[in-house]
């Protein structure tokens, strides 16, 4: 391991999901994608508040389903994890378009 790699901070990703809404599969999918592309990331999926899918990177909230009513764009979450690893700032991520919502 080079000196530059040793100095890199290990990104921490906390994903809070709603068990009632059955969003655990989305959490596991996002966690697997992050681990695949950034193996040094410490990713935790945990059950949380009803309706939640909250993503924090190093204690910075980058996505809130409670606030947006949508899931995050996974590729933007992964890019933010890369940024955190590289010592760059993280930013709020865009939401995935809601395509399967039917009002009755």
pLDDT computed for residue 1 by the predictor: 47
Q: Integer distance in angstroms from the first to the last C-alpha of the chain?
A: 57
Which residues, given as ranges, of the chain have pLDDT below 50? 1, 103
Considering the entire predicted model, what is its pTM? Answer: 0.87
pLDDT computed for residue 97 by the predictor: 75
Residue with tokens 């596991």: 28
- What is the rounded (10 degree) CA torsion for 62, 86, 81, 32? -170
pLDDT computed for residue 91 by the predictor: 96
Q: State the CATH class of domain 12-86.
A: alpha beta
DSSP track, 31-85: HHHHHHH-TT-EEEEEE-STT-EEEEETTEEEEEHHHHSS-B-HHHHHHHHHHHH
Phi, psi (deg, nearest 5) at residue 20: -65, -40
- E strands of the chain, at which residues? 12-17, 42-47, 53-57, 60-64
pLDDT computed for residue 96 by the predictor: 86
- Compute the distance between CA of residue 31 and CA of residue 49 in angstroms, rounded to an integer: 19
């Amino acid at each position: 391991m080079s000196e530059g790699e040793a100095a890199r901070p290990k990104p921490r990703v906390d994903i809070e999901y709603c068990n009632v809404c059955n969003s655990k599969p989305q959490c596991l999918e996002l966690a697997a994608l992050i681990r695949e592309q950034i193996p040094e990331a410490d990713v935790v999926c945990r059950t949380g508040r009803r309706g939640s899918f909250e993503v924090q990177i190093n204690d910075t909230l980058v996505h809130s389903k409670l606030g947006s009513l949508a899931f995050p764009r996974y590729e933007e979450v992964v890019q933010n994890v890369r940024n955190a690893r590289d010592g760059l700032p993280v930013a709020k991520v865009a939401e995935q378009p809601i395509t399967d919502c039917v009002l009755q």
